[in-house]
Amino acid sequence: MSLPALYAEFFKIGLFSIGGGLATLPFLYKLADKYDWLTGEMVGNMLALAQSAPGAIGVNISALAGFQCAGIAGAFAAALGLVSPSVVIIVLVARAFRAFKENALVQAAFSGLRPAAAGLLAAAAFGAIRLSVYDGAAPSWRECLKLRECALFALVFALLRSCKWHPAAYVALAGAAGILLGL
């Protein structure tokens, strides 16, 4: 894939992924269906890495995907493509918002964007959970759930609800458990 084509693909993702980095996941899964250099499993691994690394999740994932496709230049093209629509839109909205912030249509549009962003984030969450604990290629329906991964998910979820540790502690704990359990 050429760098301009990679930039264009991620520009489209950046244009429509309202709600932040996790909202890019449904688009990335579609990209994985479209091209052979990216798979759904790779997107899941990129998500895990992007969430563990400092910086914006969407930019991290796009850079990883771009790197997978075309090396360092691909990482820059994909990340730039993802953030370009936001920069343009923010500049335009900032200029227009002062004049129209009391307009009922503008307020209604923002009210409509909130559920869309929530839907994209929910789809990303369910996709990440499915990728982590479900194996659709299992030989029987009884083996579809990855039991060790489900147990780790439940443990981390319970710890998140009951303990007030730093998020890095959960990442380190889950990474160590993955190594020890051979996940």
Instruction: Convert the pLDDT of each residue in 40-84 to its tens digit.
Output: 889 888 888 888 788 888 899 999 999 999 999 999 999 999 999
115-147: pLDDT as tens digits: 988 888 888 888 888 888 888 787 877 788 888
pLDDT band at 2; cut points 50, 70, 90: very high
Task: Give Cα 70 to chain centroid, integer Å.
Answer: 20
Phi and psi angles of residue 20, each rounded to the nearest 5 degrees, phi first = 105, -170
Please give the average per-residue pLDDT across 24-37, as a whole number.
89
pTM of the model: 0.59
Q: What is the pLDDT of residue 55?
A: 82
For residue 83, the number of C-alpha atoms closer than 13 Å in the C-beta half-sphere is 13
What's the mean pLDDT in 153-176? 90
Closest listed residue to residue 28, CA positions, set 100, 76, 78, 98 = 78
SS3 44: helix
% of the chain at pLDDT higher than 70? 100
